Amino acid sequence: MPHSFLTDGAEIYRQSFAIIRSEADLSRLDPDEETVVVRMIHAAGLVGLEAHVAFTPGAASAARAALQAGAPILCDVRMVSEAITRPRLPAGNRVICTLNDPQVPARAARLGTTRTAAAVDLWHDHLEGAVVAIGNAPTALFHLLNLLENPDCPRPAAIIGCPVGFVGAAESKAALMQTPPCPAITVHGRLGGSAITVAAINALAGERE
Whichever domain contains 136, its CATH number is 3.40.50.10230
For residue 44, count other CB atoms closer than 10 A to its CB.
17
User: What is the sign of the dihedral through the CA atoms of 54, 140, 132 and 148?
Assistant: positive
Residue 34, in any domain of the structure = no
Residue 5, in any domain of the structure = no
Residue 42: active-site member: yes
Could you tell me the residue range of the domain that residue 99 belongs to? 52-205
pTM: 0.95
Residue 61, in any domain of the structure = yes
Q: How many domains, in total, are found in the chain?
A: 1
Distance CA 22, CA 45 (A): 14
Residue 28, in any domain of the structure = no
Residue 10, in any domain of the structure = no
pLDDT value for 18 = 94
Ordered per-residue pLDDT tens for the chain, 209 residues: 889 888 888 898 899 999 999 999 999 999 999 999 999 999 999 999 999 999 999 999 999 999 999 999 999 999 999 999 999 999 999 999 999 999 999 999 999 999 999 999 999 999 999 999 999 999 999 999 999 999 999 999 999 999 999 999 999 999 999 999 999 999 999 999 999 999 999 999 987 76
Distance CA 193, CA 112 (A): 24
Residue 76, in any domain of the structure = yes
CB 136 within 8 A of CB 116: yes
Distance CA 47, CA 42 (A): 8
pLDDT value for 110 = 94
Residue 178, in any domain of the structure = yes
**From 42, 52, 126, 143, active-site residue:** 42
Angle at CA of residue 133, ends 105 and 124, nearest 5°? 55
